[in-house]
Amino acid sequence: MIGIAATAIIIIAMSVLASIMVEGWASRDVALRARLVFLAVHDQVAASVGDKSGANLVPFFDRIAEDERVLALGFCSATGKLELATSALPASLKCGNLPLGVSDTQSKLSAAGRTLRVSIFPMVAGKVSGHLLVIHDLSFIEKRVRKARLYTTLALIGAAAGFALLTFSVVLALTRGWTRSMRSFIAEFRRGGPTPCAEQGAFPVSKEISALLTELRVERKFANGIHVEWSPQTLHQLLEDEMPGAQVLIVSNREPYIHNRVDGEVQLQIPASGLVSALEPVMRACGGTWIAHGSGSADQETVDGHDRIRVPPADPTYTLRRVWLSEEEQDGYYYGFANEGLWPLCHIAFVRPNFREQDWIHYKAVNERFADTVVQEATCDDPIVLVQDYHFALLPRMIRKRLPKATIITFWHIPWPNPETFSICPWREEIMDGLLGSSILGFHTQFHCNNFLEATDRFMESRIDRENSSVSLGGHETLIRPYPISIEGPPAALAAQAPVAECRAAVRRRFGLPDDVRIAVGVERFDYTKGILDRMLAVDDLLSRQPEWRGKFVLLQVAAPTRGKLDAYSALQTEAVRLAEEINARYEGCGCKPIQLVIRHHEPHQVFELFRAADMCVVSSLHDGMNLVAKEFVAARDDNAGVLILSSFAGASRELSEALIINPYDTHGMAEGFASALRMPPEEQGNRIRLMRDQIRQRNVYRWAAQMLLDAAWLRRREGIVVAAKN
């Protein structure tokens, strides 16, 4: 509408301008012609007016007036009398009414419905004195102006229509191209494939739309347009719908259930492992086989003739296949290469990585052993194999060689360092080559994906597609993707928990804590990456600077012994015990000890009771891939109370931004975090923890697994199409 109005205004303005120009030009033309007439007749008039021959001038004037524009000629004497006039000179024209002056003048008048122009030229020549009148009929100018207005208007309307037509055609072509692209995107989206990137489509579609479709694709099938609550059921359904009949195999070093012989009895232990707490619910939902190192003292007694046992023991839904390792193999592969080499290499905790040739040989051999076990357990040639963690960097390539059609999803549970740091590893190319045997390689964060791509760029002869985040090596493509791991929501260990008040009372009784003492908990493996010493120092800082908390604040530090054979771990344990004693001694006489260190394994239900009893949970990792303790604490607080103190160097801080984020290297800053948590009003605690609980409920571990499986399903479909096309 605005466009039409603007076009109309432009057309009117242009036609007015055209008529003004034509009128001006015609007027100048008339004036010029009148002057020419004057010059042509001047001498004749000078010679004839006033004598007898003057009468002969009339026919002469009449001849001149035959010109189509000149209507008439006349001559006014110096006395104002019309002495000569051609026949067409209007009778109403009187010399006395004209501006007869001493210079050339133009005068306009109307006569018989016409507009006339009278050009008046004074003449003084000899005895002749008077004014010559040349009268033009201006109606031709009006005609010309009307025509000019008409043609201009028509020309402009034509141009506007042409332009509109052109614009319409271009817009139509653009819209058709865009619609075609969107249709193919949506068709791909419905089929479950990844949304093509902008450059791939026939027509550029905005990156935002492409990203939106990618996001939606993950939850499309089970959402029906509504938000999905990912659960064991939806995950199971996903497998059935997207990969019917597919066999799922998981490989990890740590097994989900450990059988130990204690005092002659076989005891079941669930290990303190983020990996286990994330994957166990997924396996319960998906079924299949979990291949892991059988590390328990009673593990061999509890398996069948094929080293298998159905688990969970209370309600079996999947198979655990145990692999046996000699002590020498464990020393080289697990303690040596994995935990003295790769673990400190990938974590910025300032513990020197050690790489020994002998450890590397064991690492390779154990990876080969697990590859053979995968083949033994595979019931088809294209299973889905979920390879877990830094213990098995070489395994994806080894499986690929044995089962080329397998879909191998590798997840790296720890950070991936920058290329500079990674270059320390003497076998860096072999490690990367092994990982690039995967179909999909997952990390917790985009940052770690980027580090991996940078390292690939530096050390591998490969092709990196940054738009699609993939690496092609030897004709095989590996997708590099962030999948932030999580916990089941709500966690199984929460089901049997007593109300929060009872948990508090039980924990206070157990640790001898009066009612007015505020409780902070720390729960983890006794690992130098967790920042356990740093948080003890922060407790000391708080009590020294804010004495009102002496005897009123306690850190219950629960730490499961881990990797005790390694010096870095035993030294940490010794130092932690010493530091706890030193700090406790400093505040002796103030009431309860500020640091209570419990070095033993706790089962999940015991850990959850501690979480529920606490006023705050401290996760002060110096570096951590994700850290599921942070998420478990939040999930444990169904009373919407309690404060999470979380290191900015844990992957979880990217998602749980409502925690009090601290820098574990800043002792005083962490102490200030404790003080803020102690003073935080219940309403604020509730607001923060509710937001975090929502986040964990939506982005639970089933969603984590679903994202990987959906990408795997798409890859399998794509490979099917490629194979069909080749045949």
Closer residue to ligand F6P (CB): 117 or 525? 525
**Contact flag: residue 486 with ligand F6P (CB under 6 A):** no
Q: Residues 213, 705, 246, 389: is their CA dihedral positive or negative?
A: positive
Closer residue to ligand F6P (CB): 134 or 619? 619
Cα(391)–Cα(389) distance, integer angstroms: 6
**Contact flag: residue 273 with ligand F6P (CB under 6 A):** yes
Chain positions 198 to 257 lying near ligand F6P, rule: CB under 6 A, are 253-254
Nearest to 483 by CA among 206, 704, 218, 308: 704
Nearest to 219 by CA among 720, 716, 702: 702
Residue at token pair 């990996």:
275
As given in the structure block, the two tokens for residue 540 are: 């000391």
Query: Residue 323, SS3?
Result: strand
Q: Per-residue x/- marks for ligand F6P, 396-435, CB under 6 A?
A: -----------------xx---------------------
Cα(324)–Cα(300) distance, integer angstroms: 9
CB of 272 to ligand F6P, least distance (A): 7
CB of 395 to ligand F6P, least distance (A): 15
**Contact flag: residue 651 with ligand F6P (CB under 6 A):** no
**Contact flag: residue 322 with ligand F6P (CB under 6 A):** no
- Of 49-57, 108-116, 269-277, 583-591, the window that binds ligand F6P (rule: CB under 6 A) is 269-277
Cα(696)–Cα(387) distance, integer angstroms: 24
Closer residue to ligand F6P (CB): 246 or 576? 576
Closer residue to ligand F6P (CB): 222 or 702? 702
Closer residue to ligand F6P (CB): 196 or 625? 625
Closer residue to ligand F6P (CB): 76 or 629? 629
Count Cβ atoms below 10 Å from residue 352 Cβ, excluding itself.
9
b/e for 404-416, b at 16 or more Cβ within 10 A?
eebbbbbbbbbbb
CB of 294 to ligand F6P, least distance (A): 13
At how many degrees (to 10) do helices 232-242 and 274-286 cross?
A: 60
The phi-psi region of residue 616 (left if phi > 0; otherwise alpha if psi is between -120 and 50; otherwise beta) is beta
Closer residue to ligand F6P (CB): 38 or 526? 526
CB of 253 to ligand F6P, least distance (A): 6
Query: Residue 115, SS3?
Result: strand
Amino acid residing at 236: H
Looking at 30, 275, 406, 671, which residue binds ligand F6P (CB under 6 A)?
A: 275
Please give the C-alpha separations between residue 69 and each of 137, 364, 442, 676, in angstroms, as whole numbers: 6, 110, 93, 101
The phi-psi region of residue 635 (left if phi > 0; otherwise alpha if psi is between -120 and 50; otherwise beta) is alpha
CB of 562 to ligand F6P, least distance (A): 5
CB of 414 to ligand F6P, least distance (A): 5
- Of 49-57, 106-114, 267-275, 602-610, the window that binds ligand F6P (rule: CB under 6 A) is 267-275
As given in the structure block, the two tokens for residue 420 are: 């500079």
CB of 286 to ligand F6P, least distance (A): 19
Residues 223 and 703: beta-carbon distance below 8 Å: no
Cα(227)–Cα(216) distance, integer angstroms: 10
- Of 100-108, 110-118, 270-278, 318-326, the window that binds ligand F6P (rule: CB under 6 A) is 270-278
Quote the DSSP letter at residue 496: T
CB of 624 to ligand F6P, least distance (A): 7
- Of 62-70, 273-281, 379-387, 474-482, the window that binds ligand F6P (rule: CB under 6 A) is 273-281
As given in the structure block, the two tokens for residue 706 are: 């679903």
Closer residue to ligand F6P (CB): 413 or 448? 413
What distance lies between CA 702 and its chain's CA centroid? Answer: 22
Closer residue to ligand F6P (CB): 254 or 552? 254
Closer residue to ligand F6P (CB): 253 or 319? 253
Residue at token pair 């009102």:
548
Residue nearest to ligand F6P (CB): 275
As given in the structure block, the two tokens for residue 545 are: 């600077």
Nearest to 526 by CA among 613, 597, 596, 593: 597
Amino acid residing at 37: V
Residues 310 and 319: beta-carbon distance below 8 Å: yes
CB of 679 to ligand F6P, least distance (A): 33
Q: Per-residue x/- marks for ligand F6P, 350-389, CB under 6 A?
A: ---------------------------------------x
**Contact flag: residue 336 with ligand F6P (CB under 6 A):** no
Residues 6+ positions from 91 with CB-CB distance below 8 Å: none
Looking at 86, 210, 562, 653, which residue binds ligand F6P (CB under 6 A)?
A: 562
Closer residue to ligand F6P (CB): 254 or 716? 254
CB of 725 to ligand F6P, least distance (A): 40
CB of 390 to ligand F6P, least distance (A): 7
Looking at 201, 522, 594, 625, which residue binds ligand F6P (CB under 6 A)?
A: 625
Chain positions 703 to 722 lying near ligand F6P, rule: CB under 6 A, are none
Closer residue to ligand F6P (CB): 15 or 253? 253
As given in the structure block, the two tokens for residue 258 are: 């450990």
Nearest to 550 by CA among 560, 565, 558, 540: 540
CB of 378 to ligand F6P, least distance (A): 24
- Strand 128-137 relative to strand 70-77: parallel, antiparallel, unpaired? antiparallel
Count Cβ atoms below 10 Å from residue 664 Cβ, excluding itself.
28
90 preceded by cis ω (within 30°)?
A: no
- Of 272-280, 535-543, 662-670, 671-679, the window that binds ligand F6P (rule: CB under 6 A) is 272-280
Closer residue to ligand F6P (CB): 221 or 254? 254
Strands of 114-125's sheet in order across: 82-85, 70-77, 128-137, 114-125, 105-111
Closer residue to ligand F6P (CB): 364 or 444? 444
Number of residues that bind ligand F6P (CB under 6 A): 12
CB of 417 to ligand F6P, least distance (A): 14
Closer residue to ligand F6P (CB): 400 or 413? 413
Closer residue to ligand F6P (CB): 218 or 523? 523
Q: Per-residue x/- marks for ligand F6P, 563-602, CB under 6 A?
A: x---------------------------------------
H or E stretch covering 117: strand 114-125
CB of 335 to ligand F6P, least distance (A): 9
CB of 388 to ligand F6P, least distance (A): 7
Cα(93)–Cα(635) distance, integer angstroms: 108
CB of 699 to ligand F6P, least distance (A): 18
Cα(681)–Cα(64) distance, integer angstroms: 109
H or E stretch covering 359: helix 357-377
244 preceded by cis ω (within 30°)?
A: no
Closer residue to ligand F6P (CB): 563 or 716? 563
Positions touching ligand F6P (CB under 6 A) are 253-254, 273-275, 389, 413-414, 525, 562-563, 625
